[in-house]
Amino acid sequence: MIDQILGLMNRKVTPAAQPSPGGIAPDGVRVAACALLLELAYADGEFTPAEQAHIESGIARHFNLDAETTQELLALAHAKRAESIDHFSFTRVINREFDLGQKMVLAEVMWGVILADGTISEHETYLVRKIANLLELEPGYLSQARRSAEPRR
C-alpha cells in the first residue's frame, strides 16, 4: 500500500502526455477540470442526471468537443478521479494551464454543477470553496461565479 501511495505521489501529471485517439491527453487540463467537476457532482453522495448533463454540456462547450470525445473525456476523468488521493493533482495542472478568465469560467461551471440538482449541501459548499482556494481564486470571484451560474439553472 505504501508503494502505491509513493507511486501516486511520484507520478507527474503533465498536459503534454500522448493524446488518445480522440485527441485527449490522458493527464491534461481537460481531464483535471472534468475530474473536479465530477468531485463536486459526487460531493452530496448522489450523481444526478441533471449534474451529468451540466458537466457534459459545460465541457463540450468550453473545450469545443463533439459528443463522442466528451464521453471519452468523462470516462478518463472518472478513472483519474477514482485513483486520485487529493484535489491538488488536478488544481496544479489547471493553475499551470489556465489564466484567471478560464478559472472563472470553470468556477461558474462548478457552481452550475452544484445548483443543477436544485439543492446545495454543506459539503458541496465546503468543497467548492476548497477547490477555489487551490485554484487561487479570491472569494469575491467565487461569489461572482455563483451569481453568474444561478440564472443558468
Q: Tell me the pTM.
A: 0.79
Grid coordinates representing 129 are 470553496
Grid coordinates representing 65 are 468537443
| Span 92-119, pLDDT tens digits | 999 999 999 999 999 999 999 999 988 8
Cα–Cα distance for residue pair 41/22, rounded to 1 Å: 24
* Class of the CATH domain delimited by 23-152: mainly alpha
- The values of phi and psi at residue 45, to 5°, are 85, 5
| Span 38-81, pLDDT tens digits | 999 999 888 999 999 999 999 999 889 999 999 999 999 999 99
> Does the pLDDT value for residue 149 go beyond 90?
no
User: Domain segments of the chain: what residues?
Assistant: 23-152
Q: What is the mean pLDDT of the chain?
A: 82
